[in-house]
Structure formats: C-alpha cells, structure tokens
Amino acid sequence: MATATPVKILTPAKHKFGNVSTVTLLVGKNKTPFHVHMDRLCEASSVFEAAFLGNFKESSEKTMQLPEDDEGTFELFVDWLYGQRYAMLPEVEKGHEDYEKDKRFLQAYQLFVLADKYRVCKLKSLVIEALFADVTMCKGVPSNASVAYAYEHTTQCSGLRKWLADYHAWNVRLEWYELSDAQAFLRQQPDFATDLSVSFAERIKRGPGYNPFKGNMPDKYKDSNHEQET
C-alpha cells in the first residue's frame, strides 16, 4: 500500500518590527493618521525615503502631512504596503446607479495616481495588472468622469492612458461613439481622443486576429513615467 506524501504547508515569512521606527502620515483635510513602519515606507517610495531620511523636518519630526490625498485611497496603499495585494471592487449588478458601477474603475485609477505621485512602481504595476485581468471577466465601461480623472492626473507616456485608449478601441461598442455625450467628451479631452485614434490605427494595422487583452499583458501598459525601482 502506497504511503501518502504529506502536503508541505508554506507560511508567509514573519516580519519583525520590534525595533523599527514608525512614522505618522496625516492624510486628507481631516488629517487622518496612518502609522506605518519607516523602513517599509521608504523601501517602497523614493519620495518618502527622501522626506524621512533626508534633511527635511519630516526626518526629525517623523510626521508628514498629506492634505491633498484621499484617506480611502491611502488606506489601500497601506494595505498593499503590508500585504502586497490589490484587487478591484467586484462588478455591481444591473440597476445600480452609474456612480456605483463606475466606482471600481475610479478606485483603481486613484490608487494608480497615488502610487505614481509617490513613485511606488510596484504598486502601479499591480494596479495595471488588475485592470488588464479585469477586462476578460467584466464588461463595464469606465465613465467619462473617471477617464477624465485618469488623464488629468497622468502624463502622456502613462501606461494607464494606453490601457484606457486600447480598452475603448477594442471593447467599447460603436453605439457609445454615436452618443452625443461621448462625442462632446472626446472634444473636451483631446489627449484621450488622440490616444484613441492611435489605438484604432493599431487595430486596423494588426487586423481582426489581434487583441491586446488576450494573452500576456503588452509591455506598453507597464508605466514608464519613472525609472523602475528595485
């Protein structure tokens, strides 16, 4: 009689924080405090590294005010900082308000923008990967407002912009482009309209057999705004 091979159970490595300094981040207008370990924060972000390890008052006070940031988005950042995870909100059922349907996209864009602001390249990559994987599972269309937010808070070479343009070129039906609201939106967002034209040109050039959302994620979605940190 064969002997069953015992299953090897892997447990996550435990981090010891007993002697590690913590810093306080006061986020938003309400100055919501977030207490995080300085080594983790500085390892993830060159911006925070410069602030807390450089010749700035934050270095001595171990406190930094971030009045322009959103508390909910920053909480997602801290969750990633300790858990190295991010998952988009689940798709809501039909019948919900448009805002509820779009919240999942906007949340991802806001987290990407926050990560870009503080040069957290690993988190930016994770958000883009989540958006890319989401295309095959959900059929929602980002609202004009969320697309506008993404474009207003990113630069021309942003991987998020390229993802959005390709998403609309390959996954949004013709009926959307025929809507007067959509046409007005494209006039108001010339950068998005330009990127969309490039995506459509690529779709025509590559032919009907090509879809950037099938297979491995294209390198162009991997953000190049900042040099990748190790």
Q: Which two tokens stand for residue 173?
A: 């039906």
Half-sphere exposure of 114 (CA within 13 A, CB side): 27
pLDDT band at residue 138 using 50, 70 and 90 as cut-offs:
confident
> 27-36: per-residue pLDDT in tens?
999 999 999 9
34 phi, psi to nearest 5 deg = -120, 120
Query: What's the alpha-carbon Rg for the chain, to the nearest Å?
Result: 21
Q: Is the pLDDT of residue 7 over 60?
A: no
Mean pLDDT score of the chain: 88
- Asked whether the beta carbons of 123 and 80 are under 8 A apart, the reply is yes
Instruction: Report the C-alpha gap between 14 and 93 in whole angstroms.
Output: 39
